[in-house]
Amino acid sequence: MTEWDRSADLVIVGSGGGGLVAALVAAESGADVLLLEKQPKLGGSTAMSGGVIWMPDNPLMRAEGVPDSHAEGMAYLAHVVGDAGPASSLERRDAFLSHGPQMISQLQDLGIPFVRCPGYSDYYPDHKGGNAAGRSIECPPFDAHELGEWQDAVVPGMAEGIGFAVKTNEVRAVSHYNRSLATFLITARVVMRTAIGRLRRQKLLTNGASLIARMLKVALDRNVGVWTHTAVADLVLEDGRVVGVRASRNGASVAIEARRAVLLCAGGFAHNAGMRRRYSGDQPNDARWTAANPGDTGEVLEAAIRLGAKADLLDEAWWLPATVELADPTGASLSLARQRPGAILVDAAGERFVNESNSYVEVGKAMYARDKHSRAVPCWLIVDDGYRRRYAHTKSRPGVFPREWLDSGALRTASTLEDLARQCGIDPGGLLATVERFNTHAEKGIDPDFGRGQSAYNRCLGDPGHRPNPCLGPIARPPYYAAEVVPSDVGTCGGLLTDEHGRVLDGDDRPIPGLYATGNITATVMGRTYPGAGASIANTMAFGYAAARHALGSG
């Protein structure tokens, strides 16, 4: 028998949204909970993200009278996700849509506030069950000083580099602050909130950092054990049941008993080049471009697979097309350009191949699909001088591309499209023909080839000051500019197969006793699509909630 250094009812591996939700649910039931995080800071991918939760028929929608239902959510997943295998079975979809609203209500009861993200449309609002009003919610800003000695323990959020206390649903307005009165007023509110926070000497966290910090505060108040610098190396199996983990804590080996269950929330394997090469399939990737949580290295996933756990969707990721050389945490405009007028994406033949304003996951997958026929990994973003003049770039005033972008060659420029194409290795004739066709229709606000700007999602991220289509405008004013775009990602989304309760399944589709999982270490219920803003966080939190309840006999 194993000699244990520490015991708990529920041992949670990973401190993202799913892990903290499970910790809160378990603690509320009176269980002894120990949460392990290998990184020095807590929150993982959830803290780094926008912190938005996409949940159909959620309590905030009900309170505000926004029409929705469980049945609408099921219809939407059926039409958008389709047949994605056992990870998105009817039972798991039903569990996600049932547990999710319950989970949000319980967090509200624990004192965690949420606000709706009005206008943040589903990514496919025109599909059956789609909702253009938006099913996403987020937490308001949180003063980290409320965490006391833990105030610096949360992974910095996406707004850290922006310098403003901006909510995720406000970011799209701030990026267009000079394009309409409405966006200017929202930006003024953000600036005022930030200034007041500084005057009060607050340390305001927003986005995913706010969500994690708020859950952490409740967890600490309920005596949840939290260990950082604790890397799990293996799972302990006795008599066919997972009964604990072996880990390294601050360099020392520890054996931790899980009297009821182990819940794995350790993230995916975005930074593990070997695993990505091994599993990438038709979407070849060796982790060069990932922007995922640095802790996404896959060793816990591999430990579960060694134990006999079944996995699926290992070639898939939450794709995020990016101009890597111009990566800028302050929200460089070129990361948003594909959704704005005066910009297109083209392959090496100079041809468009996707609705540039669609979901980032969809655009990333389209790059890989196109690359089988014409080089599109990387592809090229093409904009004109009208684009440069209209928008702010990083923190500079509108109309100025940072000099270092041009000096480094990361942003290329030429007075003609032909010269620009030659610089980038694009077929000049193809690019000229593409831009000519695009401009003819863009001037009228239409895109007969890909339907850009037709959906509410396309429009909500476009330029509110541009007519007739906020997503479309001709590329006609020289000089012209180009930047290389790669299929970056914010994490893998394939992994362990779990059932509707979050139990990890073996090769015979039977639950492995004592072992649960949620989040990016699992094959997501969203399959190979991204239904709406915050779908990945909703997945990890809903199944974290379901797993804790089932493991402790309350659900």
How much is the pLDDT for 2? 87
Report, as an integer, the average pLDDT of 523-548.
98
How much is the pLDDT for 3? 94
The three-state secondary structure class of 237 is strand
Report, as an integer, the average pLDDT of 298-311.
97
Residue 389, amino acid: R
Fold of 325-487: Flavocytochrome C3; Chain A, domain 1 (3.90.700)
Domain ranges of the chain: 1-320+490-555, 325-487
* Alpha-carbon span 162 to 186, nearest angstrom: 15
Is the separation of the CB atoms in 513 and 260 below 8 Å?
Answer: no
In this structure, what token pair is assigned to residue 187? 């930006």
How much is the pLDDT for 325? 65
Tokens 């624990």, residue? 110
How much is the pLDDT for 335? 79
Domain spanning 1-320+490-555 has what CATH number?
Answer: 3.50.50.60
How much is the pLDDT for 330? 38
Residue 359 Cα to chain centre, angstroms: 11
Per the DSSP assignment, residues forming a β-bridge with 226 are 35
Quote the DSSP letter at residue 139: P
Backbone angles phi, psi at 205, to 5 degrees: -105, 140
Residue 333 scores a pLDDT above 80: no
Name the more confident of 336 and 17: 17
Q: What is the CA radius of gyration of the chain?
A: 23
Quote the DSSP letter at residue 340: S
Positive or negative, the Cα torsion across 153, 157, 162, 164?
negative
Backbone angles phi, psi at 419, to 5 degrees: -65, -40
Residue 163 scores a pLDDT above 90: no
Residue 475, amino acid: I
Residue 427 Cα to chain centre, angstroms: 34
Residue 332 scores a pLDDT above 60: no
- How crowded is residue 85: how many other Cβ atoms within 10 Å of its Cβ? 12
Residue whose C-alpha is closest to residue 243's, from 551, 553, 486: 551
Mode of pairing for the β-strands spanning 311-312 and 252-264: unpaired
pTM of the prediction? 0.96
Alpha helices in 485-534 (DSSP H): none
Q: How confident is the model at residue 317 (pLDDT cuts 50, 70, 90)?
A: very high
Residue 95 scores a pLDDT above 60: yes
State in Å, rounded, how far the first CA of the chain is from the last one. Answer: 31
CA distances from 141 to 269, 355, 534 (A): 30, 34, 17
Q: How confident is the model at residue 402 (pLDDT cuts 50, 70, 90)?
A: confident
Q: What is the dihedral of CA 519, 525, 528, 531, to 10 degrees?
A: -100
How much is the pLDDT for 328? 47
